[in-house]
Chains A and B, each alone.
Chain A
Amino acid sequence: MSDAARFEAFVREYQDMVFATAVRLLGRESDAEDVAQTVFMRAYERFAELSRSPAVPGWLKTVTTNLCLNHLSRYRARWQFFSEMDTAPDGPTLSDRVALLASGPEALERIERQERLERALRRLPDHQRVPLVLFHFEEMSYQEIADAMKVPLSKVKSDIHRGREALKQDLLTTDGSR
Chain B
Amino acid sequence: MDPVDLDDRLDRELKALPRPRAPRTLLPRVLEMTVAQPPHAAASGWSTWPLAWRLASIVALLVVIGGGYVMASAPPARLSNAAERAGEVATVARVFWDVMAQPVATYLFVLGISLALACALAWAALEAALGGASHR
Interface, chain A (partner B; CB < 8 A)? 4, 7-8, 11-12, 15-20, 23-24, 29, 33, 36-37, 40-41, 44-49, 72-78, 80, 89-90, 113-114, 117-118, 121, 126-127, 136-137, 149, 151, 164, 167-168, 171-172, 175
Contacts and interface: CB of A to CB of B under 8 A. Distances in A.
Contacts, number: 130
Contacts of A164: 7, 10
Nearest to B6: A168
A80 B27 CA distance: 27
Contacts of B34: 4, 7, 41, 44
7 contacts: A37-B26, A46-B44, A48-B45, A114-B13, A117-B14, A121-B17, A126-B134
A36 B30 CA distance: 9
Looking at A80, A121, A164, which has the most chain B CB atoms within 10 Å of its CB?
A164
Contact of B30 (A40, A46, A77, A136): A40
B20 A41 contact: no
Contact of B20 (A48, A77, A89, A151): A89
Contacts of A126: 134-135
Nearest to B30: A40
Interface in B83-136: 127, 130-136
Contacts of A29: 23
Given A114-B13, A127-B136, A48 B44 contact: yes
Q: Is the interface of A mostly helix, strand, loop or mixed?
A: helix
A171 B44 contact: no
Contacts of B11: 136
Given A15-B26, A19-B21, A77 B130 contact: yes
A16 B134 contact: no
B25 interface: yes
Contacts of B45: 48-49
Interface string B55-95: 00000000000000000000000000000000000000000
A121 B64 CA distance: 62
A47 to B, nearest CB: 7
Contacts of A48: 39, 44-45, 48
B44 A90 contact: no
Given A11-B30, A172-B1, 8 more contacts: A15-B26, A17-B19, A44-B39, A47-B39, A72-B135, A78-B131, A117-B14, A172-B6
